[in-house]
Every structure is written in structure tokens, then in C-alpha cells.
Amino acid sequence: MSSFASVHAFEIALANLRDADNEAASDARIRQGELTKPAGSLGRLEELAIFFAGWQGRARPQINRARAAIFAGNHGVTVHGVSAFPPSVTAQMVANFAAGGAAINALSEAAGLELTVVALDLDRPTADFTGDAAMSEAECLDALNRGAAVVDTDLDLIVLGEMGIGNSTAAAALCARSFGGGATDWAGPGTGIDGHGVARKAAVIDRAIAFHADAPRTAFETLRRVGGREIAAIAGAILRARQLGIPVLLDGFIGTSAIAPLAADNPAITDHCLAGHCSAEPGHKRLLGRLDLDPLLTLDMRLGEGSGAAVATNIVRSALAAHDKMATFAEAAVSASL
């Protein structure tokens, strides 16, 4: 059964977002004040524990089951030379994921994450969105639902990542259409193109934004017109996770761009999301600022694949371990005051 049976169902889900459990978050905040440490001394780790308590609905949250879901798609816009690699690399990397040889394989294992890889019609790239919508309504809705399908009800955390040659161009177009600014504000080197390549990419994005200028600026229309299947799948997973109250760890610029159209329609969509890291792609810092998301890590990573978010999962696990396993002042017979 599809999570979003129609465009209208998707829009209703985005307009009616589940809230966190404030009582559980308050109980977790009280517990933080009772643990054997000076108040606030664990900094961001304390905030993470309280965040997870609110979404899990319990004062002592845990991560018993977590998944990294990586979506792959191909893009028609690559005909304009916007990437340093050919589209065939997408399928080659999916094969590498399956063989266990990619960074996300190693990083998922290190973080205790199940790894799920979903290849979305790699033999059918999206349309070149400088002269057409990237996807039909049916194709975009299918991608949203294929993303939603990876969010099992018993997950405690989901990490979302992507693979798709040309998708940094789609990401920049999504951000420009969602939040404004010119293509040069959002376009970056992606897979490693030089300055001339970035300028060419920006020109392609500007043409796309101009071509779709009169189209509705709803989340769905923005995703289908200048997005990609893998990016729409991430958006679907984010929204489904919100319906289930499951926290999301976002990855880099491309993965985070999936939430931009949703946030333009309903800014509260980011409330159950954490930014795993800030990538070296220039537009990512700007995007995180627009979304009011403070990244857990800044390691100059720019790989994608969910890699930065997988590394950040270890920070989350540390936060919840300290919150759950530390003794209180009363339990340790330690004075809570000087």
C-alpha cells in the first residue's frame, strides 16, 4: 500500500505534521539535570538526548534499530556536461554498494546501521529539465512512495543518502526554486568540475528556473520539475518518517536539498531532522542556514552516499548512551551542589 496514494494525499501529509512529545522531552531535560555532571557540561550531546526523547516519546531514548537508506537515480540534465563523470557511473556505484566496497558500506557498519540501497529506474534518466519537467506526476509520486517504503515502523533512526551523476545540478535548482537566489548562489563543483564547469552548470540551472517560472511553486511541483527520482525518494522518506515520529539524519547538499521544497511549503518539516554534517559543497552551508539546521560535524566531506550522516550517527549513539547509562546524583551518592 502506498503512503501517498495521490498528489493530494502527499500535500495533506505535508500540511498536517505530527509533533514531538513535549512531556517526554521535558522528562529527559529533568534527567539531564540529575546526572552526575555540571549542568550543560555535555553541551550538544544533552540537546540530542532531549530531541530523541521527544520523538521517541520516552525519557530515556535508545537506538535499537537504525537504517541507512541510499537512493540512486540518473538525470537527463547531464547532456549539458554538468558533471565530471558520465551517467554510467551511477549503476557502477550501485554495484559497488551491493559488493560492499563503497564508503557507505564501511561507515554504516561502523555506525551500526542496516544498509538499504534503492536504485530507481537507472535505465530511464529523468527528462532534461531545461526544457521539460524532470518527471511526470506519476513518476514523481512513485519515487516519493519508493522512498517512504524504506521507513519501517520500528526504526529508531533513519539516515538518508543518495547517488546520482548530475544530481548536484538538480539540488541547486531545487534550492533556487524553493528559496530564491541565482544559480551562482547554489551551484558548486559537485563531482569536481573546474570553474568553467561550475559556470556552465549555473547557466543550465538558470535556464531551468526560467523555463519553469510560471509553474506552481508547491513542494510536489518543484520536486517533479527540477528534481530527480532519488531526491524525490528522500523527500518521501522524510515525510513518512515524520508521520511515524522517526528522527532523520540528513547528509550533504544533495540529500538536504530534498527537504527544501517541503520546507518552503511547511517550515516545520525540519523539526524531526538533524543535519549530520556540513559538506564542502558551497551551497550546503547556505541551505542549512535557510533551514535553521545546525550540523553535528564539519569534516570537509563531499562524497554523498549518506557518508557524513553515517559518521554523525556515532555522535548520536554517544549522546543517548551518556543520557541513559550515567548515574544520577542520588544513585551515586554525589552531592548535587557545592
Per annotation, catalytic residue among 139, 162, 230, 305: 305
Residue 175 burial (C-beta neighbours within 10 Å; 0-12, 13-18, 19+): buried
- The DSSP bridge partners found for residue 115 are 68
Say whether 305 is catalytic. Answer: yes
Which residue has 547538499 as its cell numbers?
253
Kindly list the catalytic residues. 305
